[in-house]
Structure 1
Amino acid sequence: MEIPTARRGEYLQTVFRIIEKNGGSLPLREILVEMPKSLIFNEYEAGHYEKTGYVRWRSMMYLYSIDCVKAGWLVKNKGTWSITEEGRKTLQFSPEEFIRIATQKYREWKRQKDFVELVAEDERGADIAEREATIGYEQAAEIARNEIVEHIRALNPYEFQDLAAALLRGMGYYVSEVAAPGPDGGVDIRAYKDPLGVEGARIKVQVKHRKDTKVTNSEVSALNGLLRNGDVGLIVSSGGFTREAVKEMRNSNNHIEKIDLDDLIDFWEEYYDKLREEDKLLLPLRRIAFLAPNK
C-alpha cells in the first residue's frame, strides 16, 4: 500500500495553509499539533513504517518539505517553518500538481549541484534513500526540541524567572535584582552591562510564564510606562506575543525587546558554554552529533 501522490500534496498544502493562517511562520511542533485538526488520517497514514518507526504521514510531510525548500516555497530555521511568497502561490495548484512541480524543482536543484543522474518520474527510490538522513535528523531534532519545551513548561513561574535571569548572565549582563515571590512593582529582573550599572542602559525585564496565553499590547504599554531615562524594556514570555503586542513594541517611544519560548531555547543553546555551572542545572543540555543532511 502506498500513500497517493495527491494525498501527499494535501499534506504539504495543509501545512502551508496552517503556516499562512498563523502569520507566515510557525514552529514545527505547533504545525504537528494542528495537522490532525485539519486532516483526518486513516489507519495506514497514522501507522508506523517498520524500518524507521516513523509515522507515515509525518515522514511524507518531511520528505516533500525538502522539495518545497529547494523550490523556494518554504524556509526552515531552527525548528520554525516559514512560507515564502512563491509558496503562497502554490496553494492555487491541485495537490497532485503541487507535488509534481515540487519534485521537478528538487531535481533541478540536484542537477545544478552535480548530484547523481536523475531518476525516472516514477522511480524515487534513490531520492528517498538520499533523504532518509535529512528526515531522521529533522525528526530527532523535533523530539529533542519538544523535550526541552516540555521541561520549560513544567517550571513554575519563579523557576522560569530564574531561567531568564540565568540566560542574561550567560549573555554577559550583570543581574542586580531578581524579584522575590510577591508584588514586584512590575519589574521581575533588573540587569546592567557592567557590575556597577554605570555603563549603557538599564534593562528592566518582565517575565510571563503562561503556556497558552500570549502577552498583549496592554502589557507592553504597562512596561513602557515603567521605563525612564533610556531604560531598555524586555519581556520574556513562554506563551508568545500577540501581533498587537509586537506592533506596540515597534511603535513605542522606548526601546522594548521580546524573547519568546523559541528565542529563549535558541539563546540558551548559543550561550550554554558561558553559563555558570549552577545555572546550567536549570536547563541541562547535552550535544549529540548527527550525520549532516544534504543542503
Structure 2
Amino acid sequence: MADVTKARTGLLIRKLFEILQGQRDGMRAADALAALEKSVQLTAYEAGDYESGGRRFERIVRFATVSCVKAGWLVKHKGVWTVSDEGAAAFAQITDPEKFYRQAERLYWTWRKAQPAAAEDTPAEEAAETSAVITLEEAEEVAWKEIEQFLAGMPPYEFQELVGELLRAMGYHVAWIAPTGKDGGVDVIAYNDPLGTRPPRIKVQVKRNAHSPRIDVVGLRSFMAVLGEGDVGLFVAMSGFTRDAELEARQSHRRVTLLDTTKLVELWIEHYSKLEDAARRRLPLKPVWFLAAED
C-alpha cells in the first residue's frame, strides 16, 4: 500500500460513504465498488493488478474499510455494505477526507489494543490478519451471490415447496401448499399440530422474484387482509421489504413475520440437520471453515 497515501485513501473512503448513504438499505459490495470506480479517476497504480491476481483498486478500498467496520461506521452483512448511524454522523462532522480516514484508523487501533494478546502482534501478523478478513469477505460475497442466483432461478412452485420444507424442519405441520394458478394471496398453510387443533394457523405468502421491487406497505397490507384474528402471517419475499413495510409489520395488531433472502437462508442453515434428504436437495449447502480473526 506504499503507493497510496492517507489522503488518497480518505478520498476513496469518503466517496464510498457518500455513495452508500444514498442507499438506505445498503449496497452489494461489488455494486458499491463499481459505483466508486465510476465516480473517481483511478491512478495508474490503482488501475493495475497484483502479481498474485486481483485488482489493486478493490483491495485498497477493502483494506481501508476494515478500519471503518471496527470503528462502527460501516456494517457488512452477507455481502451488503451499509453506513451506520455513527458512520453517517462522522461523515457529516469530519469533512476533510484524510482526517475522516485517520479517525477511523484511530478508532480501529483503540479496538485493536483492547483485544487479548494484541500487543504481541507484529505488523506482519496484523497485515496478514487483515488480508485474511478481506479474503473471507470476498468468499462470503461470492457464495452468497451464488445462493441468491440459485434461488432466483428456482421455479415458483418449487420455491413454495422449499418454504414448506423449512417449516416442517422447524416443527410445524404443513397442511397445504398452493398448486399452480391463483392462490388468493396464500401459498402455504401450516399448523402447530398434525390436526390443526392448536392455534395459531400460519398463512404464508411467497414471492420468489428477487428482481422485483421491495414489498411496500401496500403489498404487505394486501397480505394482512387475508389473515383472520387467530392467524399468524409469514411473508417470504426474495426482493426484501421497504423500511416502511417493516415498520408496519412491527406495529400492526396482526402478527406478521417478514423473511427476505438473508433470513430465509439463515433459517435454512440453522435447521439444515432436521431437513429431509429430499428437502436438502432443493437447496444443498456445505459449510467451509476459515480461520477467523477476533471480533
Please give the TM-score of this superposition, normalised by the length of structure 2: 0.87
Q: CA–CA distance in 2 between the matches of 1:264 and 1:93?
A: 39
- 1:102-181 to 2 correspondence within 5 Å? 102-113=104-115, 114-116=117-119, 127-181=126-180
Q: Quickly say closer, same or farther: Cα 1:179–1:50, change in 2 above 3 A.
A: same
Partner residue of 1:88? 88
Q: Counterparts of 2:47 and 2:278 in 1: how far apart (Å)?
A: 42
CA contact under 8 A between 1:224 and 1:252: conserved in structure 2?
no
SS of residue matched to 1:285: coil
Read off the aligned partner of 2:277 and give its amino acid letter: E
- Say whether 1:212 aligns with 2:224: no
Question: How far apart in 2 are the matches of 1:260 and 1:145?
Answer: 13
Aligned 8 A contact 2:186 2:205 in 1:
yes
2:12 alignment counterpart: 11
Residue 215 of structure 1 aligns with an amino acid whose one-letter code is I
Aligned residue in 2 for 1:59: 59
8 Å contact 2:78–2:140 — kept in the other structure?
no
8 Å Cα contact 1:207/1:236 also seen in 2: yes
Q: Is the alpha carbon distance of 1:216 and 1:3 closer, same or farther for their aligned partners in structure 2, counting shifts above 3 Å?
A: same
Distance (Å, rounded) in 2 between the aligned partners of 1:268 and 1:106: 34
Residue in structure 2 matched with residue 193 of structure 1 by the alignment: 192
Query: Contact 2:78–2:144 at 8 Å: present in 1 too?
Result: no
Q: 1:35 to 1:284 in 2, by over 3 A?
A: farther
1:93 to partner: Cα distance: 3.0
Label 1:224 to 1:147 Cα distance change in 2 as closer, same or farther (>3 A). Answer: same
What's the CA shift for 1:251?
Answer: 3.5
Matching residue of 1:73: 73
Gaps of 5+ in 1: none
CA distance in 1, matches of 2:55, 2:160: 36
C-alpha RMSD of matched pairs (Å): 2.5
Q: What secondary structure does 1:11 align onto? A: helix
Q: Distance in 1 between matches of 2:209 and 2:288?
A: 30
Query: What do residues 4-59 of structure 1 show as CA deviations (whole Å, max 9, x unaligned)?
Result: 333322333333334433326555455456544554556653543222x3332322
Q: Secondary structure at the match of 1:203?
A: strand
Q: Which residue of 2 aligns with 1:243?
A: 243
Q: How many residues align?
A: 290
Q: Distance in 1 between matches of 2:32 and 2:265?
A: 18
1:129-177 CA-partner distances (Å, limit 9, x unpaired): 3311111111111111111111111112222222222222222211111
8 A contact 1:190–1:203 mirrored in 2 = yes
In structure 1, how many angstroms separate the alpha carbons of the residues matched to 2:240 and 2:37?
Answer: 23
Q: Which amino acid aligns with 2:226?
A: L
**Cα distance between partner residues in 2 of 1:197 and 1:12:** 55
Contact 2:3 2:45 in 1 (8 A): no
Structure 1 residue aligned with 2:253: 253
Are the aligned partners of 1:178 and 1:189 in contact in 2 as well (CA < 8 Å)? Answer: yes
Preserved contact between residue 238 and residue 260 of structure 1 (Cα < 8 Å): yes
**C-alpha deviation, 1:111, in angstroms:** 2.4
Task: Give the C-alpha shift of residue 84 in structure 1.
Answer: 2.9
244 and 102 in structure 1: CA distance in 2 versus 1, 3 angstrom threshold? closer
Pairwise CA distance, 1:282: 0.8
> What is the rounded CA distance, in whole Å, between the counterparts of 2:39 and 2:188 in structure 1?
41
CA contact 1:272–1:280 (8 Å) conserved in 2: yes
Structure 2 CA distance for partners of 1:270 and 1:74, relative to 1, 3 Å: same
Native 8 Å contact 1:239 1:261 kept in 2 = yes
After alignment, is 1-10 or 275-284 more displaced? 1-10
* Partner AA of 1:278 in structure 2: A
Using the size of structure 1 for normalisation, the TM-score is 0.87
Q: From 97, 103, 123, give the equivalent of 2:99.
A: 97
Contact 1:63–1:128 (CA under 8 A) maintained in structure 2: no
The SS at the match of 1:196 is: coil
What is the Cα deviation at residue 258 of structure 1? 0.6
Aligned twin of 1:222: 222
Shift, 1:182, TM fit = 0.6
**% identity of equivalent residues:** 38
